A and B are shown apart, each in its own frame.
Chain A
Amino acid sequence: EAQVTQNPRYLITVTGKKLTVTCSQNMNHEYMSWYRQDPGLGLRQIYYSMNVEVTDKGDVPEGYKVSRKEKRNFPLILESPSPNQTSLYFCASSPREGNTIYFGEGSWLTVV
């Protein structure tokens, strides 16, 4: 079954405590990306990756880091989380050429 898997699904953390949200896809897709979803703002892209070792900033990259050491994984790293990073996060993947973009189930993150 084609899947994009995110972990954790739910997390409450404190300001400044580093955390990582993992993302893994089993479809051998080259393109992966991270979005955050906030009320009234829709989905905004944080970072994306066209292939292994290739990453680029999206629309709202501040406060986030990513890495793409292998094709299937694209973790999102919050080095020093702040309350304004409280949001619902989605990882997505798609083939390099194609129009179907698969989303994970989402990760609810609360920073207190």
Chain B
Amino acid sequence: GESVGLHLPTLSVQEGDNSIINCAYSNSASDYFIWYKQESGKGPQFIIDIRSNMDKRQGQRVTVLLNKTVKHLSLQIAATQPGDSAVYFCADVRSNDYKLSFGAGTTVTVRA
């Protein structure tokens, strides 16, 4: 079936380095895509989103890239900090009913 998934379940990053978290999706009808961050004991928090008619979008220290040709989504975090340690989820959204489909998540651990 159609789904959104992440390439790797875990990612260990040195503090100060850039992080890249990848996601593959299969639903070509998705209208936009969202990255969420979930810290331990908390609900998912919105980080950044990108619409299907865009290739790149930048936020504060984060950049999302969308490659529709290969159905690939990535989140880049610049100068990773200890506070970036969390589980990151990508999700695709269907515009007709705003249903989100989540990937399984990537656990990012920042090494001091």
Q: Which residues of A contact B (CB under 8 A)?
A: 4, 31, 33, 35, 40-45, 48, 50, 56, 58, 90, 92, 94, 96, 99-106
B55 to chain A, nearest CB (A): 17
- Give chain A residues whose Cβ lies under 8 Å from the Cβ of B93: 99
Question: CA separation between A58 and B101, bound complex, in Å?
Answer: 10
- Write out the residue numbers on chain A whose beta carbons fall within 8 Å of the beta carbon of B104: 40-42
Task: Say if the beta carbon of B45 comes within 8 Å of chain A.
Answer: yes
25 contacts between A and B (CB under 8 A): A4-B43, A33-B99, A33-B100, A35-B102, A41-B104, A42-B103, A42-B105, A43-B89, A43-B102, A45-B99, A45-B101, A48-B97, A48-B98, A50-B98, A94-B98, A99-B32, A99-B49, A99-B93, A100-B46, A101-B34, A101-B98, A103-B44, A104-B43, A105-B41, A105-B43
Q: Is B61 an interface residue (CB 8 A)?
A: no
